[in-house]
Amino acid sequence: MVLGFDNYEHVPSAKVMTQAKRRKHKVNYECAETSCLPSKIPEDWGSAMANRTFKVKVVCKVLEATATWFGQKLKEDPLYANLSLVLDHRGVPSVLHAGSSSPVRDFVDSRDWSTTEHTVGRGECDIKAYTWMHIAKCLCIVCRRRLSAFVASADFTA
């Protein structure tokens, strides 16, 4: 399974117009780079998630908690022994528990994930998710705004 999130370092600047439209009717939620996440979920969750700094902190927390949870499952539940989890957010995707040679590990290790002046970085998750199609054969992209899921098949028969 691959759990992926937008990498805002590479989301096109043209997206600023869309983001501004989304925030038009929201209260400005302040969150500085140096701020910690609050101990409780903010009452106006929509405004908080419209703040990119806050959203990135939430994504990092989700990734951290997921990695911890998956590590515990690997130790405690033998059904997880043959499973792999990839966390794809920034830079090189993190592969949790794939054997020394598996299609997922081989793919991640064989690829140059860096960004140069001649390449566009992997930003939008719904776009970069297709990187994994040849391994997964089936891809489910969940759009949080629309609360819908789209399933695409590698052979387009599903």
Domains of the chain by residue range: 2-153
Across the range 52-67, mean pLDDT stands at: 87
* Mean per-residue pLDDT of the chain: 74
Contact predicate 146/19, CB 8 Å: no
Rounded Cα–Cα distance for residues 77 and 70 (Å) = 10
d(CA 31, CA 55) in angstroms, rounded, equals 9
| pTM, full prediction | 0.70
Residue 51 CB partners (closer than 8 Å, separation 6+): 28, 29, 30, 31
Of residues 62 and 3, the one with the higher pLDDT is 62
